[in-house]
Amino acid sequence: MVLANPIHGAPRTDRLDCAFVTMPFGPLSQPSIGLSLIRASLPDGIRSRIFYATIRFAELIGARWYDLIAEGFPNTTDLAGEWIFRGCLTADEPARVEQYVREVLASSSGWACASDDAPSFEHFVERLREIRALAPTFVEHCADDVLSDRPRIVAFTSVFQQNVASIALARRIKLRAPDTVVVFGGANCEGSMGAELVCQYPWIDAAVSGEGEIAFPAIVKNVLTHGRVPDDMQGVATPANGRRLVAAPQNAPAYRNLDDLPRVEYSDFVDQFSTSSLARERSATLLFETSRGCWWGERNHCTFCGLNGTSMAYRAKSAQRALDELLDMTARYAASGITRVAAVDNILSMGYFRDFLPALAARDSGVELFYEVKANLRKEQLRLMRKAGIVSIQPGIESLSTTVLTLMRKGVRAIQNVQLLKWCKELRITASWNILFGFPGEQPADYAAMAAAIPALMHLRPPVGAAKIRLDRFSPNFDDAERVGLRDVRPYPAYSYVYDGDEQSFANLAYFFTYRYADGRDVDSYTAQLVPLVARWKAEYESSEFMWIDEGGVLRLIDTRPSAVSPVAGLRGLARAVMLLCDSARSFDEISEHVTRQFPDRRVDGDELRAALAALEKRNYLFREGNLYLSLAIEQGTYPLSSVSVKRFSERVAAARMPRDLSAVG
């Protein structure tokens, strides 16, 4: 096996104090912000380097296959990325390999919603076997690279599907250099998971639970001074205290004031990525942090969410620190051509609308930003975000049913979610979201109503997918499973094909769990219409538009949605006034008050207004939720018709024998 682009050249004469490693299948086109922050936290004089084995493995197997596996194809809970490196730890019997293929991969729910360009089951399994065969030699080469610098400490970050590859490399390092101290950290080490790792794998000397910027420098100081990791450090599991911390997990100390954190430094990533073959086919994204925890989760932890683990307390950097850090980071790597930046925050600080975002917007930096946000934003807030360079968001929509959103404890209504999608399209902000279902207490009627609403929404960005909720460690649904009506909670079957041990050890290591409903509900039966409807939405989106132009007292509508009554229409008077007013969701009383003021010379009674609203709703011009109404049309000047929708529009006009000149429409 030939590995192109070694991480660095010939063995060095000076010895590293610490080698940081990020193994497959961690994020490929992004640096590790965790390792970069911890490295920056080390005292001056500590010699260290970050090894991005992710980049090398993607070059070996192909970036497309790396992405596919890293993103959890066919399903995240199949742990295909972990299974690839399983053979580096234990030589499975052929029958055991076939059993994993048959009982995990073949039965995966992911095949039902795979995209058209996804590999077939047969092709995927064949390629997975080939990649698995490459893993042992790859790990050996990684050990060569890491040990060529003779590091005193090797520290692994483990998030997503990085556990087994990291365990495998740690084992090779210990076998070849027994005095090397091996430390694990990252999301896969929080709580009992990290403590179980040190109990199961004796070559791991310590695992840090929670944030590592305080604990890890203390570990380094102890190792360099005394040659070992102490057994009494807060939130640090060792073989001596591991069983105690499995039973009673605790986190390492964390920064209260994030302004005290060091600045991240990404030169190792930029150097290794820019000199790799990947740089010719894709762009990298830098990671940026302005807060930790979740201010909404502190008040109402969303029932399905396992993010933040036991570190929910919300902390945000000051606006000036955040601004200085972002501008400094982007300027430092401008020569590399990296202009995209993703914030790793779980939620955008609402205080930033007063200071950070206005200051960033005033700079006109040209940086393209991503943030996770709450969906109840106002239009002026989205405008400010777009001006500040936030071009993509993950708004945590999760559902288009207020009943289901209430069960989730999301704190928003369905009409607010639709409103956000509409404004995002108008303001050219990409919103990535999903539909989740299977919440205890939901009703089939919730999904019948959702399915009925979707045809009117096909001009808005569709969800990435629709799926039944996972049961994730640290989520309220997991912690309160018995109370909310979930029974027989067990680790996903894939864990038994990835790790050795018994059911209890799998439960301590696992992040994903299976369950059954106490009331025996059949979720698939009442969501059967939803999944194919979402697939249709994704297929129709590029050619679906619904726009308005206001000319001379006539609201001209262009409608290329599959549900369109006609491709063009014109609204005057009361109908026009309602559509323009309902750019944001309005109650019946608000609409009534507005039209009374707008038409003082004629009395618009409640019956007339209800009839007008009903007519607009029937034509799918309005989205209604209870007593609230929202116009679904987007101002044409802000978001021009795509070439695909222009073609559909022309075809629909021709088919209906309607005039192409909009001014002729009454």
Distance CA 573, CA 594 (A): 13
Residue 31 has pLDDT above 70, yes or no: yes
Amino acid at position 21, single letter: V
Residues 264-289: pLDDT tens digits? 999 999 999 999 999 999 999 999 99
CATH number at 531 reads 3.80.30.20
pTM of the model: 0.92
Average pLDDT of span 214-238: 97
- At 4, the pLDDT band (50, 70, 90 cuts) reads very low
**Distance (Å, rounded) from C-alpha 383 to C-alpha 663?**
31
Q: Are strands 390-394 and 368-372 parallel, antiparallel or unpaired?
A: parallel
Strand partners, 370: 342, 392
- From edge to edge, which strands make up the β-sheet containing 546-551? 568-571, 554-559, 546-551, 634-635
Query: Does residue 486 belong to any structural domain of this protein?
Result: yes
- Cα 314 to Cα 300: distance, rounded to the nearest angstrom: 13
DSSP letters spanning 32-45: -HHHHHHHHHSPTT
Residues 241 and 323 in one domain: no
The pLDDT of residue 3 is above 70: no
Residues 6+ apart with CB under 8 A from 450: 399, 400, 401, 435, 530
Q: Same structural domain for residues 534 and 632?
A: no
Contact predicate 3/272, CB 8 Å: no
Q: Is residue 149 part of a domain?
A: yes
Count up the domains in the chain and report the number: 3
If pLDDT is split at 50, 70 and 90, which confidence band does 203 have? very high
pLDDT of residue 664: 35
Q: Which pLDDT value is given to residue 49?
A: 97
**243 Cβ contact partners less than 8 Å away, ≥ 6 residues apart:** 195, 199
Please write the tens of the pLDDT for every residue from 55-70. Answer: 999 999 999 999 999 9
Percent of the chain with pLDDT over 70: 95
pLDDT at 636 over 90: no
The residue type found at 598 is: Q
pLDDT at residue 9 greater than cutoff 50: no
Q: Are 182 and 205 a contacting pair, CB within 8 Å?
A: yes
Position 657 confidence tier, pLDDT thresholds 50, 70, 90: low
Same domain, 554 and 535: no
Q: Both 170 and 26 in a single domain?
A: yes
State whether 534 and 550 are in the same domain. no
Question: Which of 504, 524, 539 corresponds to the end of one domain?
Answer: 539
How many angstroms separate the Cα of 622 from the Cα of each of 52, 379, 455? 51, 18, 12
Residue 602 has pLDDT above 90, yes or no: no
| Residue 301 and residue 225 share a domain | no
| Distance from C-alpha of 222 to C-alpha of 205, rounded to nearest angstrom | 13
Q: Cβ-count burial of 125 within 10 angstroms (0-12 exposed, 13-18 middle, 19+ buried)?
A: middle
Q: Is residue 501 part of a domain?
A: yes
Last residue of a domain, one of 247, 275, 295: 247
What is the SS3 assignment for 503?
Answer: helix
* pLDDT at 8 exceeding the cut of 90: no
Q: In whole angstroms, what is the distance from residue 542 CA to residue 562 CA?
A: 12
139 and 182 housed in the same domain: yes
Q: Write down the pLDDT at residue 656.
A: 59
Average pLDDT (175-189) is: 97
**Where is the domain boundary, 539, 573, 590?**
539
How confident is residue 543, by pLDDT bands cut at 50, 70 and 90?
very high
Kindly state whether residue 4 falls inside one of the protein's structural domains.
Answer: no
pLDDT at 11 over 70: no
Residue 167: per-residue pLDDT = 98
Instruction: Kindly tell me if the per-residue pLDDT of 1 is higher than 70.
Output: no
Backbone torsion region of residue 221, taken as left when φ is above 0, otherwise alpha when ψ lies between -120 and 50, otherwise beta: alpha
Distance between CA atoms of 50 and 213, rounded to whole angstroms? 16
CA atoms within 13 A on the CB side of 203: 18
pLDDT classification of 45: cutoffs 50, 70, 90: very high
Position 653 pLDDT exceeds 70: no
The whole-angstrom separation of Cα 206 and Cα 591 is 63
Say if residue 328 is in the same domain as residue 461.
yes
Name 219's Cβ contacts closer than 8 Å, sequence gap at least 6: 153, 183, 206, 208, 229, 233, 236
Around Cβ 194, how many Cβ atoms within 10 Å?
31
| Residues spanned by the domain of 653 | 544-664
Mean pLDDT of 534-548: 95
SS (H, E, C) 458-499: CCCCCCCCEEECCEECCCHHHHCHHHHCEEEEEECCCHHHHC
Q: What is the pLDDT of residue 10?
A: 42
Return the CATH number at 575: 1.10.10.10
Structure confidence at residue 337 (pLDDT): 85
Residue 231's alpha-carbon distances to 235, 241, 244, 253, in angstroms, are 10, 6, 11, 15
Quick check: is 357 in a domain? Answer: yes
Torsion region of 288: left, alpha or beta (phi above 0 gives left; psi -120 to 50 gives alpha):
beta
348 and 430 share one domain = yes
Task: List the end-to-end C-alpha distance of the chain, in Å, as a whole number.
Answer: 71
Q: Is the pLDDT of residue 568 over 70?
A: yes
Mean pLDDT of the chain: 93
State the pLDDT at residue 655. 67
Res. 617 pLDDT band, cuts 50 70 90: very high
- Residue 194, domain member (yes or no): yes
SS3 state at 373: coil
The answer to whether residues 313 and 359 belong to one domain is yes
Question: Both tokens of residue 430?
Answer: 């990409």
pLDDT value at residue 642: 72
Q: Would 259 be classed as within a structural domain?
A: no
- Let me know if residue 209 belongs to a domain: yes
Shared-domain flag, residues 578 and 437: no
Tell whether 479 and 558 lie within a shared domain. Answer: no
DSSP assignment string, 381-403: HHHHHHHTTEEEEE---B-S-HH
Please say if the pLDDT value at position 250 is more than 50. yes
Q: Tell me the pLDDT tens digit for each residue of 380-390.
A: 999 999 999 99
Q: Are strands 622-625 and 486-491 parallel, antiparallel or unpaired?
A: unpaired
457 φ/ψ angles, rounded to the nearest 5 degrees: -105, 10
